[in-house]
Amino acid sequence: MALPAELILKYNQAVPRYTSYPTVPHWENNLNAQSWEVLVKQAFQLVGKNEGITLYIHLPFCEALCTYCGCNKRITKNHDRELPYLDAVLREWSHYLTLFDDVPKIAGIHLGGGTPTFVSPENLNLFLSKILDSASVLPRAEFSFEGHPNNTTFEHLAELKKLGFNRVSYGIQDFDSKVQTAIHRIQPFEKVKEATENARTIGYSSINFDLIYGLPHQTLDTLAASIERIQELKPERIAFYSYAHLPSAFPAQRGFELHLPKEQEKRALYELGKEKLIEMGYEEVGMDHFALGDDPLCAAKRSGNLHRNFMGYTTSPSEMLIGLGASSISDIGLGFAQNEKNIESYQSLSYLSQLPIVRGHVQTEEDQINRKLIMDLICRGKAEIPELIWQKIPQENKQVLAHMKEENLVYHSGNRISISSEGMAVVRNICAQFDLRMSATKSQKANFSKAI
């Protein structure tokens, strides 16, 4: 059932997406490179040595600016930038290796960006081979990368497949030419089809398409037409993201502000997209994510083993995520850390005898309890509320939860809470009521996109 118009207006507030808890703006920044190294050693002993490590590697270069994009990127056509940057990432990884008292096991690798396929197949092979040669790979490791359909060549796909990559995610966003022109992301359907068929020919086990709703000039008709084109290719997974409008942080977004759909129009776009995807055989895994019924994400949701991290929903149980590259974020359970964002500064720091950490957060026991509650809500749609957390929730937040119960968005009895099918539309708002870090600050809303 679609969310009523009055609730769309009521809950279209700026709240976190909860890829972590606490969210980055609420970190205490109470560690430095040296104290981070101590935490990494502890986390490796606790979980990394047995469960393995997942690596997120940020490759920030793009040849052209997509004006909707909120990622950390560098626009350039100078491919001479590739090797110096990759060398810096290898130096960072070499420093991490000195912190482990055993050969690390790799549970997964994800290449994000930017545009990872900006880097040539040959350079990717040389770079990744050095990382893999320094570690062992777990039997069920999942290697994935983000590809631009326009420049993900057959050679890119073949070289990465040889290295163990089995999943690729293509940034589609929308197939409508007017929308593509507005967001400066011109990619004909034929290029997407070619990139998809190449991946399947080479033997990739899973293909994901990223779509965005709420883009300039999108209408119900144009979105329906885009999803019909997707039906021809039937990727295993769909990430159906809400466009995050933050022009103060990303000035290029100001160019199309007058053509963005209003709140109710934007929600209608999502409802239409969801309806059509379900008709095509996809299941709603969680916030923004859909997958075919036999996909491991759906199985993980049904079994209660779905996880969420900075890369989105995942089936990987690895609790130790190491981020490599400019702006990358690491999550090791005991704390978080983020690298220097500026590429030149990052490369310079990589020559020093310390990691390029610029901010971070050491998890308290309360943080870890609060995190489990929020992740249970966002991954399983239900949770038990620890008394420690309930006692500290502000009264105004409890009143919001009471109203949500009256509006049939949540079911709340005793210490148990679950989210209704209608309530999943405002799952970010529901989680925010339990966010003790956000409740403690008054300036949080400027840091987040709106929920709807």
Residue 157: what pLDDT? Answer: 98
DSSP-derived secondary structure for 362-380: EPPHHHHHHHHHHHHHHHH
pLDDT of residue 1: 65
Do 374 and 393 touch, CB atoms closer than 8 A?
A: no
Strands 237-242 vs 289-292: parallel, antiparallel or unpaired: antiparallel
CB-CB contact of 364 with 22 (8 Å): no
Residue 449 has a pLDDT of 78
Q: Which amino acid is at 71?
A: C
Question: Is the Cα torsion angle 168, 335, 333, 374 positive or negative in sign?
Answer: negative
Fold exhibited by the domain 365-447: Arc Repressor Mutant, subunit A (1.10.10)
Q: Map out the domains of the chain as residue ranges.
A: 24-362, 365-447
Model pLDDT, residue 285: 93
The span from the CA of 194 to the CA of 30, in Å, is 48
Answer yes or no: same fold for 24-362 and 365-447. no
Residue with tokens 């759909």: 261
CA–CA distance, 401 with 395 (Å, rounded to integer): 10
> Distance between CA atoms of 197 and 14, rounded to whole angstroms?
39
The pLDDT of residue 447 is 67
CA dist 381 and 43 (Å) reads 28
Task: Average pLDDT across each block of 10 residues of the chain; the chain has 452 residues. List them in order.
Answer: 84 89 94 95 94 96 92 94 97 97 96 96 98 96 95 97 97 95 93 97 97 95 95 95 86 88 90 94 92 94 88 82 97 96 96 92 96 94 96 96 96 95 92 92 64 76
Instruction: Determine the Cα–Cα distance for residues 168 and 111; give it in Å rounded to an integer.
Output: 10
* Domain covering 24-362 in this structure, CATH number: 3.80.30.20
Angle subtended at Cα 16 by Cα 37 and Cα 35, rounded to the nearest 5 degrees: 10
Instruction: State the DSSP code for 151.
Output: T
